[in-house]
């Protein structure tokens, strides 16, 4: 009973981690890179937490196999800790940066303390630098126990630097949740270091993962994995938020469709087509205000909602988007161009059905604009062909 009381926090943490792990694998965004890293991170902490339960359960217990279990379980704790910190660093990097151009360099920097800790673990049976199992199956910390803690803190520090440099990209709730992952275990380290025999490190990390799941991971279900902007699911949340200001606000809605994505795909491949979609999302976001709603609605379609004081404000926003695409095509240096057809109109929220009707109207306007622009391009191409033929005849 006394042992259960000592380990009840870890047992509870194990249940939390199992739920998080199953949820992350079953979620709609399980294939997204950030979610994959979160799943691996949760699995790693789960293994470590179970190892800690075993180490405390077998410590000082008689039996021929108990010292071996004591040694292996404690060795796993030291061995997996730096990899866990490294996974958290990669989670932060992919969540904030999406594309990590210097990922190899970052991994090499993190690899230095990992290699040192691995070396300490490998030579520990001969040196007892990290821990020893004394006669009577008694675990005791070694003289370099604190060193491995400092090396893990170094790994965490690299990720914290990324977190601080990109803190403007997220709200305070997400920032504090990400920051809590190493801070809560560090608090547990201090308690466990000064109050020998307590189990606080990995159970506090389970709590930190729960905070990340509730405040960060859930929001990723509303993010498009390719572009990083909102996805179609987030439109429902937007409509729900509109209901709180029923009829008071004039909204401007836009439906945008990339004109020539099929030609880009056919000529340069689908990887370039994906790049074109990402660039289109960046251009649209850049042409609007930071608080405006931009979502990838379908493959090459985007949905935009902005608050406007008058219809002319919506016209100006549409003009800015077209101008932004023109500027990109002039300066990008890419062999391909991207443009968009935009259907747009103003509306007020009267009911969810009224918003749905407005979206259908805007969608129809977009398809009309797309047909018009396609006809213009075809006529321009025909006129260009005729001009070339006349020039050839005159020559």
Say what the pLDDT of residue 100 is. 67
pLDDT in tens, 12-50: 889 999 999 888 776 545 446 788 889 999 999 999 999
Residues whose CB falls within 8 Å of the CB of residue 290, separated by 6 or more in sequence, listed in order: none
CA distance linking residue 33 with residue 100, whole number of Å: 12
| Domain 2-220, CATH among 3.40.50.970, 1.20.1070.10, 3.90.1660.10, 1.10.357.10 | 1.20.1070.10
Which two three-digit tokens encode residue 75?
Answer: 């060795």
**Quick count: other Cβ atoms within 10 Å of Cβ 77?**
21
d(CA 349, CA 356): 10
Condensed to tens digits (0 to 9), the pLDDT of residues 296-326 reads 998 899 999 999 989 999 999 999 999 999 9
What pLDDT digit, counting tens, does each position of 92-116 carry?
888 887 666 677 888 899 999 999 9
Q: What is the overall mean pLDDT for the chain?
A: 86
Domain residue spans in the chain?
A: 2-220, 233-394
Does pLDDT of 294 surpass 90?
Answer: yes
Report, as an integer, the average pLDDT of 235-263.
87
DSSP 94-139: HHHHSS-TTHHHHHHHHHHHHHHHHHHHHHHHHH-SSEEEETTTEE
First to last CA, the chain: 102
pLDDT at 261 over 60: yes
Note the pLDDT of residue 181.
78
Options 3.90.1150.50, 3.40.50.2000, 3.40.50.720, 3.30.70.270; CATH of 233-394: 3.30.70.270
């Amino acid at each position: 009973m006394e042992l259960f009381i000592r380990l009840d926090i870890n047992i509870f943490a194990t249940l939390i981690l199992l739920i998080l792990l199953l949820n992350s694998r079953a979620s709609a965004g399980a294939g997204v890179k950030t979610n994959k890293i979160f799943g691996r991170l949760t699995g790693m902490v789960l293994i470590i937490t179970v190892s800690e339960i075993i180490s405390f359960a077998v410590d000082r217990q008689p039996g021929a196999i108990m010292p071996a279990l004591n040694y292996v379980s404690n060795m796993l704790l030291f061995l997996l800790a730096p990899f866990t910190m490294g996974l958290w660093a990669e989670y932060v990097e992919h969540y904030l940066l999406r594309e990590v151009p210097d990922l190899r360099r970052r991994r090499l920097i993190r690899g230095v303390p990992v290699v040192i800790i691995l070396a300490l673990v490998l030579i520990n049976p001969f040196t007892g630098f990290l821990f020893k199992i004394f006669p009577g199956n008694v675990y005791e910390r070694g003289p370099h126990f604190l060193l491995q803690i400092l090396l893990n803190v170094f790994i965490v520090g690299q990720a914290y630097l990324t977190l601080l440099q990109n803190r403007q990209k997220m709200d305070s709730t997400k920032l504090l949740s990400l920051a809590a992952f190493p801070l809560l275990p560090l608090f547990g380290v201090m308690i466990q270091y000064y109050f020998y025999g307590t189990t606080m490190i990995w159970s506090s990390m389970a709590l930190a993962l729960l905070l990340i799941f509730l405040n960060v991971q859930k929001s990723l279900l509303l993010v498009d994995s390719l572009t990083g902007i909102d996805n179609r699911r987030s439109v429902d949340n937007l409509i729900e938020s509109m209901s709180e200001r029923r009829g008071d606000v004039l909204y401007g809605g836009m439906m945008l469709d990339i004109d020539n994505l099929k030609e880009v795909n056919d000529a340069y491949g689908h990887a370039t087509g994906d790049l074109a979609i990402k660039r289109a999302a960046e251009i649209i976001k850049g042409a609007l205000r930071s608080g405006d709603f931009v979502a990838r609605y379908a493959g090459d379609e985007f949905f935009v909602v902005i608050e406007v004081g008058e219809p002319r404000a919506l016209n100006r926003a549409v003009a800015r988007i077209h101008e932004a695409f023109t500027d990109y095509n002039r300066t990008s240096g890419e062999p391909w161009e991207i443009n968009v057809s935009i259907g747009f109109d103003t509306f007020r929220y009267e009911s969810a059905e009224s918003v749905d009707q407005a979206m259908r109207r805007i969608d129809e306007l977009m398809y009309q604009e797309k047909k018009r622009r396609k006809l213009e391009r075809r006529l321009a191409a025909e006129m260009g062909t005729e001009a070339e033929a006349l020039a050839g005849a005159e020559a």
